[in-house]
Amino acid sequence: MQIPLLKFSFLNAFLLLLSVAAFAQSASVKGRISTADNNPVPMVSVGLAGTTKGALTDYNGLYKINNVEPGTYTITISGVGYQKTSKTITVTANQNTEVNITVTDDNQQLQTVEITGRKEKTYKTKSTFIGNKTETDLKDLPASVSYASKELMADQGVVRVGEVVKNFSGVNQFTFYDDLTIRGFRVNGQSNTQLVNGLRTSSGFWKQSLTNYLERVEVLKGPSSALYGNASPGGVVNRVTKKPLDETRRSVSIQLGSYNTFRALADFTGPANKDSSLLYRLNLGYEDANSFRDLQFDKNVIIAPSLTFVASPKTHINFDLVYNSSNGRLDRGQSVIGNDLYSTPQSLSLSTANDYLNEKTYIITLSANHEFTDNLSMTVAYSKTGYQEDLWEHRSANAYAVNGAGATIPNLVAMQIFSRKRKRYIDNFTGYLNYKLQTGIIEHKFVAGFDYGSEKMPVGASQLTAGGYRNAANNGFIANYVPANSSRYLLGADGSPVPNVPSFNLNDPISSQRLQDDSKVFFGQNVLNPTYYYLNAGYIQDQLRIGKLQALLGVRYEYYTDFANYKTANEAKTHSKAWLPRFGLVYNANKNINLYGTYVEGYNPQSASMLTPNANPDPSNPFKPLTSNMVEFGAKTSWLNDMLSITTAVYQIEQNNTLYAIGNDQYRQVGKERAKGIEFDITGRITPNWSMLVAYAYNDAKIIESLIPAEVGIQKPNAPHTLANIWTRYNVVKGLFRGLGIGAGANYVDKRNLSINLTQTIPDYTLVNAALYYSIGKMQLQFNANNITNKKHWVGGYDYIRLFPGIPSNYLFTMNYTF
């Protein structure tokens, strides 16, 4: 189906629906929501219980709900900072019913753990748990946080975290795996430093799961070790799952799109019993999608239930499960001929029809919160992640094939085969106390806690590898070809060494992508020794307030235990430890502006369990731990009755002992890196019907010390100097086109280096996206057109043999029904 034809049919359907709506005759409910002193209350939800009808108040606190059938209803008003208010009303046919309601401030304590769900339906989020282990207004947090709500993700039609991060200042993709760059520093799903609901977890790295079960995706910028342990100095990604609501909401969605994409999604929530002491939420997702990349596909099943038990007004218990079953192929990227980026199509994948990647992941979380008094509460949470991988892949050997003289043949990529099975398990426990205290004019919020985390790859993980060149007897293979020893190799008629795995011919890719007879290939066994490490940590933090000034003082002590040669006769424990301070100041300049500054330190051991078994070419000289620090200053402001927030930050991050790959899964350390930059974010609404998000970042991330002088001054790999993004949506709420919405946006990514060892780069790009929405009753229709100029681009890569191209022009049609 071609995009122009689909657009034409879609618009015709809109016009038909509009004409039907125009002749509908029904009543309406309107009025004003105000405070006790008669001030308007903007941006609160006004709804009719038991229906899907509702509205948001405007600047003047006014609202109007159209097309209401006659009858008796309960009208409810809810919004952040106000107590939920209800009133019974009667609606008469063909009449406007006016209902004015006064609401009162909600003086309840903020949550100390994220158990109950977020009811707002906007791009803007008022508070977060990621920065303080308790619900904190973003304006009062001395740190930079970027986030994307489920509403923004839905409006943009994005379903992967790698697509979501284009909205964040200073964040971009490193590859198209679960692999990102934050302020120039790499963060990926296999590093055990990503968070789900504030608890450490990990993924299989190769695939990104669907985001339909997420309430929001957020990034805490800078080293987060003082809160969460070893992590990237650029920041940490937190995926917040959808939590149960105390009101019934149900929706189902069907998505159809380019490359034979089909998805079916469902979200159900509400009370599970009459007294609402048990709340539930269930998110389901199914995906069957091909790709613009040859031979690639994804089949995913997501099951994500959540239960909240309100044992008493002071005790809440929550259970979350995210289960993902994924079947597909592992895409190692595009290879080009020589240094010509445009010598092969971006669809070119080096996979074959033999290949498969089957993964299963589950993340189980149990959490509980109890308030002993109004000032003292306790939170405990436990999370377990299980990951299982079953892989067969044909992939490049990260080099071109060679002839008898050892010269590269630029159209032939040397190949290898991996057959791998492994499991990984991550356990995390956190327990902490929150205590509020007043000493004279100083307000204190103390947090003191203990963390435990572990990661284990049990016995049984193994890999078979085929590669290199066949020996002269043709009964095995030699990893590398040495021309001086050519008599040791099987040579072809042209004198070139015969590869163990046939090379991939970039001039004839179809032949190389067919089913391969792997029975004729010689395999060797790679070492995947079992690994195990754990950490214990204690921390204390005090958030003080004196009038307009707030101070955050915290320190964490971490003690790591790593098992070298785990489960062998030579098993030995190794230990490392660190003190990690954290300081921050926030000054409330006026009701709209908060100024802040912060200093934090980071620490990350680089031991055997955290790296590949042969990562260190010199085991007698262990890798030094990563150490980092950041200084940041910024301003957080809110405007238009708190509908719009604007944040800006300037920062400097330094990191010592970074590892860079040198081939064969081995690494070396460089001395010091430094990233300096500025970031700017706008999030929220200009009017109740006009939403906007803007992000801009400039980042100078360079190597400043190295034993190799030529590396000093090089911009870090996949760290663009400039990133920029804009997205906006406008809804028509009156007149003939009532129910119609229009969205548009663009994002820019600067050119990037692919490696510190090479001069290979990928160019900058600008993508333009657009969307069209139409809501009628309980149904919303949505059409997203992405990269509408069909810009050829690359989202990342390691070198010109492993490039990760971005998707060409594509579309997505979504039909969502709420009931």
Mean per-residue pLDDT pooled into runs of 10, the chain (819 residues): 44 44 63 85 82 80 88 84 83 89 66 62 85 84 94 95 94 92 86 79 83 94 81 89 92 97 97 92 98 97 96 91 96 95 96 96 94 93 96 96 95 97 94 93 94 93 96 96 96 96 96 94 91 93 94 94 89 90 95 96 74 63 85 96 94 90 71 95 94 97 89 92 98 91 98 85 97 95 98 95 97 97
Q: What is the CATH number of the domain that holds 619?
A: 2.40.170.20
> Per-residue DSSP letters for 187-240?
EETTSS-EEETTEEE---SS-----TTEEEEEEEES--HHHHSS--TTEEEEEE
Are 150 and 242 spatial neighbours (Cβ–Cβ below 8 Å)? Answer: yes
Q: What type of residue is 484?
A: A
Phi, psi of 610, deg, nearest 5: -95, -5
Contacts of 770 (CB under 8 A, 6+ apart): 742, 743, 744, 745, 784, 785, 788
* Rounded Cα distance, 266 and 740, in Å: 23
Tell me how far the alpha carbon of residue 37 is from its chain's centroid: 43
Question: Quick one: pLDDT at residue 686?
Answer: 94
Are 86 and 104 spatial neighbours (Cβ–Cβ below 8 Å)? Answer: no
Task: Point out the domain boundary residue: 106, 141, 159.
Answer: 106
At 718 the three-state DSSP class reads coil
* Rounded Cα distance, 517 and 586, in Å: 65
* Rounded Cα distance, 746 and 139, in Å: 27
Question: Quick one: pLDDT at residue 554?
Answer: 93
Place of tokens 């006026």: 590
Rounded to 5, what percent of the chain is helix, strand, coil? 5, 55, 35
* Rounded Cα distance, 794 and 754, in Å: 11
Per DSSP bridges, beta strands 593-604 and 572-588 are antiparallel
- Print the domain residue range for 64: 27-106
Burial of 428 by CB count in 10 Å (0-12 exposed, 13-18 middle, 19+ buried)? buried
Does residue 386 lie within any of the structural domains? no
Instruction: Supply the pTM of this predicted model.
Output: 0.85
Tell me how far the alpha carbon of residue 215 is from its chain's centroid: 12
C-alpha dist (Å) from residue 47 to 84, 86, 435, 746: 11, 10, 36, 34
Q: Tens digit of pLDDT for each residue in 331-350?
A: 999 999 999 999 999 999 99
Phi, psi of 262, deg, nearest 5: -135, 130
Tell me how far the alpha carbon of residue 418 is from its chain's centroid: 28
Q: Tens digit of pLDDT for each residue in 96-110?
A: 899 999 988 664 444
Q: Tens digit of pLDDT for each residue in 456-489?
A: 999 999 999 999 999 999 999 999 999 999 999 9
Does residue 602 lie within any of the structural domains? yes
Does residue 353 lie within any of the structural domains? yes
Q: Tell me the sheet residues that pair with 194.
A: 201
Task: Point out the domain boundary residue: 46, 75, 106.
Answer: 106
Contacts 24+ apart (CB under 8 A), 433-436: 433/376, 433/377, 433/378, 433/379, 434/112, 434/133, 434/134, 434/376, 434/377, 434/378, 434/379, 435/375, 435/376, 436/374, 436/375, 436/376
List, in sequence order, every beta strand (DSSP E) within 440-491: 442-457, 462-466, 469-470, 477-478
Q: Tens digit of pLDDT for each residue in 121-132?
A: 789 988 888 877
**Other C-beta atoms lying within 10 Å of the C-beta of residue 756:** 18
Question: Quick one: pLDDT at residue 11?
Answer: 45
* Rounded Cα distance, 793 and 341, in Å: 10
Question: Quick one: pLDDT at residue 667?
Answer: 74
For the chain, give the number of residues.
819
**Other C-beta atoms lying within 10 Å of the C-beta of residue 474:** 11
Are 94 and 25 spatial neighbours (Cβ–Cβ below 8 Å)? Answer: yes
Q: Tens digit of pLDDT for each residue in 247-284?
A: 899 999 999 999 999 999 999 999 999 888 999 999 99
Task: Point out the domain boundary residue: 106, 126, 146.
Answer: 106
For 298, what's the count of Cα atoms within 13 Å in the CB-facing half-sphere?
26
At 338 the three-state DSSP class reads coil
Q: Tell me the sheet residues that pair with 676.
A: 652, 700
Does residue 208 lie within any of the structural domains? no
Question: Quick one: pLDDT at residue 107?
Answer: 43
Q: What is the CATH number of the domain that holds 85?
A: 2.60.40.1120
Residue 699 structure tokens: 């980042």
Place of tokens 């970039």: 506
Does residue 812 lie within any of the structural domains? yes
Does residue 693 lie within any of the structural domains? yes
* Structural domains in the chain (count): 2
Place of tokens 């985001």: 211
Phi, psi of 782, deg, nearest 5: -145, 140
Does residue 5 lie within any of the structural domains? no
Does residue 763 lie within any of the structural domains? yes
Question: Quick one: pLDDT at residue 118?
Answer: 65
